[in-house]
């Protein structure tokens, strides 16, 4: 699923458009600990987080992260967005908290109809 579709489903705003080639998202990871992010993220991961530090952008570049979803309607400063644009990172902001954002995303990635037996 593309970042643009995810933003639409979440009613999120796109704050920084990343590289179009890296807009395909296959999985999501939620959390604020950078050490966990290093172990869980990949080039097709959407990271859902409260973290607004520019360190997040540096880590995203290190693991070739595709996109970040900030929660609670957070608006990062221009330095964060400028660095994100510089590394081709998508940045969106969800209007709801972490729990509800994950709840809205769950059916998009994991809820599939199961065959009846």
Read off the pLDDT of residues 60-92 as tens digits, 9 standing for 90 and up: 898 888 999 999 999 999 999 999 999 999 999
**pLDDT tens digits along 14-40:** 999 988 777 889 888 898 888 777 777
pLDDT at 112 over 60: no
Q: What is the pTM of this model?
A: 0.87
In-domain check, residue 18: yes
**Residues forming beta bridges with residue 88, ordered by sequence position:** none
pLDDT at 113 over 60: no
Question: By C-alpha distance, which of 80, 69, 74 is closest to 105?
Answer: 69
In-domain check, residue 53: yes
In-domain check, residue 72: no
CA–CA distances in Å: residue 23 to residues 13, 16, 41, 47, 61: 15, 12, 15, 13, 15
In-domain check, residue 57: yes
In-domain check, residue 87: no
pLDDT at 95 over 60: yes
Q: What's the domain count of the chain?
A: 1
Q: For the chain, give the percent of residues with pLDDT over 70.
A: 94
In-domain check, residue 59: yes
Domain holding 24, by residue range, is 1-63+102-110
């Amino acid at each position: 699923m593309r970042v643009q579709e995810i933003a639409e489903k979440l009613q999120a705003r796109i704050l920084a458009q990343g590289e179009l080639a890296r807009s395909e998202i296959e999985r999501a990871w939620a959390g604020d600990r950078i050490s966990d992010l290093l172990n869980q993220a990949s080039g097709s991961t959407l990271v859902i987080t409260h973290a607004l530090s520019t360190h997040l952008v540096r880590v995203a570049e290190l693991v070739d992260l595709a996109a970040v979803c900030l929660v609670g309607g957070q608006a990062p400063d221009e330095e964060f967005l400028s660095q994100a644009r510089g590394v081709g990172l998508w940045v969106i902001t969800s209007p709801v908290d972490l729990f509800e954002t994950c709840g809205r995303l769950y059916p998009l990635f994991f809820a599939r109809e199961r065959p009846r037996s």
